Structure 1
Amino acid sequence: MTDDQGWLARRRRRLMDGYADRSRAKAAAKAIDSSRPSVATVAVWGLAGLVHLTTVATLVLGAWLTLIAPSLVLRVPGLVIVLFGLFLVPWPRSVRKLGAHTRVDLPELFALLDRVAEHNGGPVPHLVGFDPDYNASTFALGRRRVLVLGAPLWVAAPPHARLALLGHELGHFAHRDVLSSSWTAPAHRALEQWRLVLRELGDDPFDGGTGLRIVTVVIRVLVLPFRALLAGYVYLLDLLAASSSRSREYLADLDAISTGGSDGALALLDTLLAGSAVEAAVGRAAIRRDDAWHEVRTTLARDDLTTRLRRRAHAVQEESRIDDSHPSHAQRIRLVEEREQVGPGVVVDTATWHRLDAELEPYLDSAGSVLVDAVRYQH
């Protein structure tokens, strides 16, 4: 039995590696025709449409019962249905809660973003936010494009890796995957919102006597099929969108190479692989009440080629799945290494970096304080 399982695991790994290699080669050749949606993309649009239809139908039914139904017995449930339908609506994220900043707040950063966008031929974000996550992301807030930079990643990355990071993230605006559109993104967000509520209804027991415990058991039983249905629906949506998402990730990596050069793109991936080292550095600073960003920079400054190669070797062992929305770090590194080596397409002098660092310092420090507090209170 053990040998069979080992053989199956190796066979699955070879199949996934072959699939990943083909996907990477396709992206590297830029052989993706965005003007011709695939069958999977059309299916994702249809699944998103069913989510929107469910929300609209719920609101219409509730409004009809509330306003037109002749009996008060029907109007009261109608009002409840309306309130439930409003809950189903995937309300957009608040700019105030995000803490996003405009060109007026960050002139140096937006000047650099203008140069990156001009070089790669993509759009510029309208808003930029900072958060404590070791990542970066983009999304749409209505018609406004939002770039979110993870403070730990920005601090940990060397200058040429930061250029590659900006090129990669702005590349997502140019190569939007199927789940980032104004039609599909709200539907996906709504599904996750529904799953969260059903999970809380099914998992959180009521405090009280035997009667309330019975109610808890009944609610769990009633909620279970809906939880299973939503889980399957979200999985199917993610599965159909995964290929598009991976391809767009590779295209964004090509933009990272174009912006920061081959060395910058590789340095960015090495910095991403150093996430555990950065986390440990922040933890040490939190316990000692030292400067977290100084500890992060000092820790990564000690990295040598042997350390980076060891992290890359470990990344090769990452499991690949057909429903993964992102290619593995190993595949992304191969993409950079297989391409012809190029220099940075956007060059920034030392004086500009100093001005940019001074401009971003209060925002990075604010995000760092949140991160340090979260780590400190965990201990």
Structure 2
Amino acid sequence: MRSATGETTRPCPQCGAGIRADNRFVDWCAACDWNVDPAGPEERPERLERMRRALARRHGEKLLAEVTTGGTPSPGRDAPALLAQAIALGVHGVTLALTAGGIWWVVSGWGGAGMVPGLFLLALAWPLRPRLPGLPEEGPLLHRAEAPELYALIDEVARVAGTRGVDVIAVDAEANAAVTTYGVRGRRLLVLGLPLWEILTPRQRIALLGHELGHYGHGDVRHGLVVGTAYRSLTTWRYYFTPIADPTPGEMVVNLFYVVPYSLLQGVLMLLDQLTLRAAQRAEYLADSVAARAGSTEAAVGLMDRLLVADSAAAVLRIEANRVRAARRGGRRTEDREGELWEHLAARMDAIPEHEYERRRRAGVLRGHSVDSTHPPTHLRRECLLAGGSVPAAVAVDGERERRIAAELADARSTVARKIVRDGFDG
């Protein structure tokens, strides 16, 4: 039977219950979960992988219970996080020792062969040096004078999070958002992905800002100054010692010398990952609580649902970009189509029915906890928000303020739309 919306009803091939069939979305059965996760892993994992997943599930369930009962410390204050910072300080200590030793050899052996070991030590220290991230090289940057209304909104949300606002906003084509610091002074950067921003309601946008600024308020060990720079240093060294692929006989000898340092670096990186993983997941839950306080529990839950279908937003943008490029090859004007890119995206995402969201949530339950993800499963984050009770929004925007913010983002929207059409969408 076909409904007015184009849906049909047919029996489930597994249990016989009636299921909705819609060629826009995956067919699945709500009664027996048939085909609820068609993209999920089909092969049975090996024993070690099953053990790792079981351990990740137990840790994740324990963390969820701690967060929902309010018995979890802030990130950075538990023993694993403190050990991670100690290891990171050790990495920086090696860099300092290499630098000091190199300088001593160069100075004491100035003008002679004694400079050689000093230069060698300095050459080793150089790639291990702490490197602070800078501003993104691509994408529009919005400063406070260019978007005063958006910055004022961010400042309001920051007060709810118990922190201050950001110094720069970078707009890009990723279906995501993030905060970080840059430069020696640790200035704050908000990376705002328009494909995500454009599919959210005004209150969900406030919840998104609350979540991101919540990372500043609660601290994020993995991306902090000490651990973050050590992680980048170790990653650089691992790159230098990565065995050569398809080596020649001479390169095989080089690979033999690489085995020990590469294995050591890989081991330290894996240890840092595991030590900071729990703190990173805890930070996500705490940031979600800020999202609820800023935009309301309802908006924060809606944000979780939108994150579940972020890959659909990516698919829509690819389709729209391909259409614009095809029209351009046909000699037609495409400026209007580029300008309508975001409106088409929002309309397509608003048309996603509730049963597709439910399928995504059930698929998340089946997949469970990832052994190495810094984010808890989205369905558990949603569950944690609902368990905390309904919280009203502390920050609100009216229609006029929404229009002013949209006007401030207008040039960035056009720039990012042109980039997506020109380069395609990979976010």
Output the TM-score relative to the length of structure 1.
0.87
Q: Which of 54, 64, 69 is equivalent to 2:94?
A: 54
Rate the CA distance shift 1:203–1:72 in 2: closer, same or farther, 3 A.
Answer: farther
1:181 aligned onto 2:230:
no
Q: CA deviation at 1:278?
A: 1.1
Rate the CA distance shift 1:67–1:204 in 2: closer, same or farther, 3 A.
Answer: farther
Q: CA deviation at 1:163?
A: 1.0
Partner of 1:350: 399
Tell me if structure 2 keeps the 8 A contact 1:52–1:187: yes
Q: CA deviation at 1:80?
A: 4.0
Q: Which of 251, 259, 279 is equivalent to 2:314?
A: 279
Deviates more, 1:7-16 or 1:107-116: 7-16
Q: Which of 66, 74, 78 is equivalent to 1:26?
A: 66
Rate the CA distance shift 1:215–1:369 in 2: closer, same or farther, 3 A.
Answer: farther
1:77 and 1:9 map into 2 onto residues whose CA distance is 45
Q: CA deviation at 1:220?
A: 2.8
1:299 aligned onto 2:348:
yes
1:131 aligned onto 2:172:
yes
Q: Which of 111, 122, 128 is equivalent to 1:82?
A: 122
Q: Deviations along 1:162-198, whole A, 9 cap, x unmatched?
A: 1110010010000112223322221112122222333
1:93 and 1:11 map into 2 onto residues whose CA distance is 36
Rate the CA distance shift 1:62–1:13 in 2: closer, same or farther, 3 A.
Answer: closer
Rate the CA distance shift 1:217–1:5 in 2: closer, same or farther, 3 A.
Answer: closer
Amino acid at match of 2:322: I
1:232 and 1:86 map into 2 onto residues whose CA distance is 22
Q: CA deviation at 1:359?
A: 0.5
Q: CA deviation at 1:6?
A: 9.3
Give the unaligned 5+ runs of structure 2: 1-43, 325-336
Deviates more, 1:48-57 or 1:33-42: 33-42
Rate the CA distance shift 1:103–1:50 in 2: closer, same or farther, 3 A.
Answer: same
Count residues with an aligned counterpart: 366
Q: Which of 88, 111, 119 is equivalent to 2:160?
A: 119
Q: In structure 2, the residue corresponding to 1:309 is in which secondary structure? A: helix
Rate the CA distance shift 1:105–1:202 in 2: closer, same or farther, 3 A.
Answer: farther
Rate the CA distance shift 1:364–1:229 in 2: closer, same or farther, 3 A.
Answer: farther
Q: CA deviation at 1:358?
A: 1.3
Partner of 1:217: 252
Q: CA deviation at 1:273?
A: 1.2
Deviates more, 1:298-307 or 1:46-55: 298-307
1:34 and 1:313 map into 2 onto residues whose CA distance is 30
Q: CA deviation at 1:97?
A: 2.9
Q: CA deviation at 1:143?
A: 2.6
Rate the CA distance shift 1:374–1:214 in 2: closer, same or farther, 3 A.
Answer: farther
Output the TM-score relative to the length of structure 2.
0.77
Partner of 2:208: 165
Give the unaligned 5+ runs of structure 1: 206-212
2:193 and 2:109 map into 1 onto residues whose CA distance is 52
Q: Which of 156, 179, 202 is equivalent to 2:244?
A: 202
Tell me if structure 1 keeps the 8 A contact 2:136–2:170: no
Q: CA deviation at 1:8?
A: 9.0
Partner of 1:150: 193
Tell me if structure 2 keeps the 8 A contact 1:172–1:248: yes
1:261 aligned onto 2:296:
yes
Partner of 2:19: none
Rate the CA distance shift 1:248–1:86 in 2: closer, same or farther, 3 A.
Answer: same
Q: Deviations along 1:340-360, whole A, 9 cap, x unmatched?
A: 123322111111111111111
1:154 and 1:16 map into 2 onto residues whose CA distance is 31
Partner of 2:106: 66
Q: CA deviation at 1:100?
A: 4.2
Deviates more, 1:19-28 or 1:298-307: 19-28
Q: Deviations along 1:273-320, whole A, 9 cap, x unmatched?
A: 112211111111221114342332122021121121122122222341
Partner of 1:325: 374
Q: Which of 103, 108, 131 is equivalent to 1:91?
A: 131
1:192 and 1:30 map into 2 onto residues whose CA distance is 35
Amino acid at match of 1:337: L
1:101 aligned onto 2:142:
yes
Amino acid at match of 1:328: P
Q: Work out the percentage of aligned pairs sharing the same amino acid.
A: 28
Tell me if structure 2 keeps the 8 A contact 1:58–1:82: yes
Q: Deviations along 1:131-175, whole A, 9 cap, x unmatched?
A: 222221112223312221122111222222111100100100001
Q: In structure 2, the residue corresponding to 1:137 is in which secondary structure? A: strand
Q: Deviations along 1:253-282, whole A, 9 cap, x unmatched?
A: 011111121221111111111122111111
Rate the CA distance shift 1:94–1:204 in 2: closer, same or farther, 3 A.
Answer: farther
Q: In structure 1, the residue corresponding to 2:181 is in which secondary structure? A: strand
Rate the CA distance shift 1:130–1:348 in 2: closer, same or farther, 3 A.
Answer: same
Tell me if structure 1 keeps the 8 A contact 2:296–2:392: yes
Rate the CA distance shift 1:89–1:13 in 2: closer, same or farther, 3 A.
Answer: closer
Rate the CA distance shift 1:364–1:192 in 2: closer, same or farther, 3 A.
Answer: farther
1:167 and 1:240 map into 2 onto residues whose CA distance is 26
Partner of 1:248: 283
Q: CA deviation at 1:19?
A: 3.2
Deviates more, 1:217-226 or 1:135-144: 217-226
Q: In structure 1, the residue corresponding to 2:424 is in which secondary structure? A: helix
